Chain A
Amino acid sequence: MAERIGVVLFPGSNCEQDVIFAVEQLGAQGEILWHGDASTNGVDAVVVPGGFAHGDYLRTGAIARFSPVMQAITDFAAAGGPLVGICNGFQVLTEAQLLPGALQKNAGLKFLCETVELRVETTTTALTNEATDGQILRIPINHFEGNFVCDAATLAQLRAEDRVVVRYVDNPNGSLDNIAGVCNEGRNIVGLMPHPERASDAILGSADGVVLLRSLLAACRVSP
């Protein structure tokens, strides 16, 4: 049976259809989860997509965190369900404290829209289980606030627990320790600034995101 991938739609999300298209290319079934509904509708995985949830007012992700769907997502992930935040979705998950750290304005204060190289640092997460250690992926970024920061103790913990999921090969935004994506302790929640769904077909310039999306589908099959 096809995996059901729930993609959260906040007012201001703008990558939800791209994610649905990309996972459906891989044989999964994508469906929208409206932010105002406190349910994940029994999906097998949840993606919080990119965009500008609630206009990004106050701070990116700050208001989205209080949408009714967030409690349902939190419960879903607490039960081991695969949860991925992409770009603005990553910012939402850090604000919700489902992932450590925060995303600051880029060093250099430029909005960055370009394809970057990422290095896969761990293959034991919901988003990288089909990748290989050290694999280089070409995937686009598209953000103004992608500069990952956290305190020294958190960084030491992330390193010790092998929770940096992907790093930039050539740091574009000033992120601490070149971090492009991290996971939670249970490794079922992953957040990253680059957009795998925008690298899901050769016609888009790169299909390197496919291995990550395939990993997410694989995680659906092993999660409770």
Chain B
Amino acid sequence: MPAYEARVEVTHLPGIADPAGATVERALPALGYTNVTSVHIGKTIRLSLEALDEPTARAQVEEMCERLLANPVIEAYDVTISELAR
């Protein structure tokens, strides 16, 4: 079976406060970066998996996001899939 790497980017849903991002946003101007207009902090999850094809891998990773990797109440996620060379 082909192998894939999935990169999941988890971010806050629009309108949900991001206290860590807001703190960094206030810190950067103090270092002179006065042109920074917004900062958002999320997390990246990288996982490798075997699957029949890319759509199958994507569907499975999206299901993982719904069930565990992200909290749909406050977080959005974005999945990028790439095939790993064997």
Contact = CB atoms under 8 A, between A and B. Distances in A.
B74 interface: yes
A101 B71 CA distance: 10
A117 interface: no
B19 A109 contact: yes
Interface size range of chain B in the complex: 10 to 19
Contacts of A152: 15
Contacts of A102: 71, 73-74
B3 interface: no
Contact of B71 (A95, A109, A147): A95
A109 B20 contact: yes
Nearest to A97: B73
Interface string B2-41: 0000000000010111011011000000000000000000
Contacts of B73: 94, 100-102, 149-151
Interface SS of A by simple majority: loop
Interface residues of A, number: 21
Interface of B: 13, 15-17, 19-20, 22-23, 68-69, 71, 73-74
Interface of A: 58-59, 62, 66, 94-95, 100-102, 104-109, 147, 149-152, 174
Closest 5 CB pairs of A and B: A102-B74, A102-B73, A105-B19, A107-B19, A109-B23
Given A108-B19, A151-B15, 9 more contacts: A62-B71, A102-B71, A102-B73, A104-B74, A109-B19, A109-B23, A149-B73, A149-B74, A174-B19
